[in-house]
Structure 1
């Protein structure tokens, strides 16, 4: 199983951003990451300086800003979950939410809330993540106003 460190994740996203800026060829996962990076121009400055990104590890964001590396990692995680439909049913649930919102990016942000809750609940309880509860939360969002 691939378990990148926090530094590895930061280097990866900074490298993808650099490749986008220079027009370099990218691997499939880099292209996917690049699409999410393009959706978040507010992160481009943070992604432009790998040394600063590494130096800021473990420090809280200024003024409660969200961590761009965590946020982009969640986009990639959700994209991967949907591509392999794991947990089973997540692809359909995200597709339903996307259709309801009319925007994949907006849907992903809602799914992130559900994913974060599932992880938090798992850590709090000491039990494995509850994939069915996660999917149920996404489906509820897709069917409620």
Structure 2
């Protein structure tokens, strides 16, 4: 995807939308120091350019009973295209996996997982992740306390 140059008006709109995607176009325009029609056109242009990819509601995991969170380093048994594709497909089908990244270092992947509690996380590890038969090893780090969590990207 090509880089789309953003001016300061675009950045103001994007900052505000990252904080509150439900804001009305009028309030968005006002917060960005613009009139409504130009703000709406810019947002549409940013959507069409693929910079804005969606609008979501952020949920509180703890309020939903998901009190355990962990980062898991995953090493695969082999690095064939088939094994990698199988792991990628497995991850896509797991709603407990919030993030998955292929990484450098001693592990192949780093995944972020939520669960009801430690036992629920163990169940995921033993009966889902390790049961795939393609995972050589895992190293799990439980999150004791979340210091910062944001979905806002820096816009310069």
- Do Structure 1 and Structure 2 share a fold, with TM-score over 0.5? no
In the superposition, the TM-score normalised over structure 2's length comes to 0.23
Higher RCO (Cα < 8 Å, 6 or more apart): 2
TM-score by length of 1: 0.24
Which is higher, the Rg of structure 1 or of structure 2?
2
- 1 or 2, which has the higher strand percentage? 2
